[in-house]
């Protein structure tokens, strides 16, 4: 017997960031995506220096496709993939209550800002991590990916 439900292994996810400017953050995000089993990573309007992703010590870009779109209008996701914005806004769903779609692309905002209005309008849904203020982009991405993995598999029974 496995510790995951059949549905836990179905589907895929991707993670990316809009207007990223720091290579360490993007590298950490890419490394986490590789570790958590992401299907691909992406950026929208990233600064060239961020694309160096020097903190990606697992060399995720050699194992996962990476897409670098210049603008929100250039963003193309696979059919059926839902775009999930991660942003601290009032009408976003608290992450622990969110039912992750089978096919999802999670997108985070820049280091010193928020998701653009254009990108928020493209999102199928927006979630937020219930913190008092924004956390580091790479950390936020890791929290979202961890929540996805944990919430899509049943909890094992504890010994008596």
Taking Cα atoms as reference points, which of 114, 117, 103, 107 lies closest to residue 144? 107
Task: Dump pLDDT digits (tens) for 101-123.
Answer: 999 999 999 888 899 999 999 99
Q: What is the pLDDT of residue 55?
A: 52
User: Could you tell me the pLDDT band of residue 61, with boundaries at 50, 70 and 90?
Assistant: low
- 1 pLDDT more than 50: no
Instruction: Say which residue the tokens 């010590």 belong to.
Output: 57
Tens of pLDDT, residue by residue over 134-149, are 888 999 999 999 999 9
Sheet holding 12-18, edge to edge: 66-69, 40-44, 12-18, 103-108, 82-86, 125-128, 93-94
Looking at residue 5, its pLDDT comes to: 42
Q: What pLDDT is stored for residue 159 in this prediction? A: 78
Instruction: Identify the residue with better confidence: 86 or 61.
Output: 86
Identify the pLDDT of residue 85: 98
| Nearest CA-CA partner of 65 in 133, 119, 12, 128 | 12
Q: 149 to each of 6, 35, 96, 119, 144, how far by Cα in Å?
A: 13, 11, 12, 25, 9
Measure the N-to-C terminal CA separation of the chain; round to a whole number of Å: 19
- Return the residue matching tokens 């995720």: 60
Give the chain's domains with CATH numbers: 13-151 (3.40.1280.10)
The pLDDT score that the predictor gives to residue 8 is 53
pLDDT at residue number 27: 83
Q: Is the pLDDT confidence value at 56 over 50?
A: yes
Residue 127 pLDDT = 97
Rounded to 5, what percent of the chain is helix, strand, coil? 35, 20, 45
Going by pLDDT thresholds of 50, 70 and 90, the confidence category of residue 87 is: very high
Mean pLDDT of 8-37: 86
Is 88 strand, coil or helix?
coil
Token pair 């820049």 is at which residue? 110
Asked if residue 96 lies in contact with residue 130, where contact means CB atoms within 8 angstroms, the answer is yes
What is the pTM assigned to this prediction? 0.86
């Amino acid at each position: 017997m496995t510790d995951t439900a059949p549905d836990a292994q179905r589907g895929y996810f991707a993670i990316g960031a809009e207007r990223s400017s720091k290579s360490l953050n993007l590298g950490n995000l890419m490394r986490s995506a590789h570790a958590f089993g992401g299907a691909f990573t992406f950026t929208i309007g990233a600064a060239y220096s961020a694309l160096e992703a020097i903190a990606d010590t697992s060399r995720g870009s050699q194992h996962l496709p990476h897409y670098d779109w210049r603008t929100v209008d250039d963003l193309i996701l696979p059919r059926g993939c839902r775009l999930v914005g991660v942003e601290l806004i009032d009408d976003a769903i608290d992450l622990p209550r969110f039912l992750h779609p089978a096919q999802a692309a999670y997108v985070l905002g820049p280091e010193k800002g928020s998701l653009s209005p254009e990108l928020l309008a493209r999102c199928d849904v927006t979630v937020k991590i219930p913190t008092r203020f924004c956390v580091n982009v790479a950390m936020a991405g890791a929290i979202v990916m961890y929540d996805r993995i944990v919430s899509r598999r049943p909890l094992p029974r504890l010994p008596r």
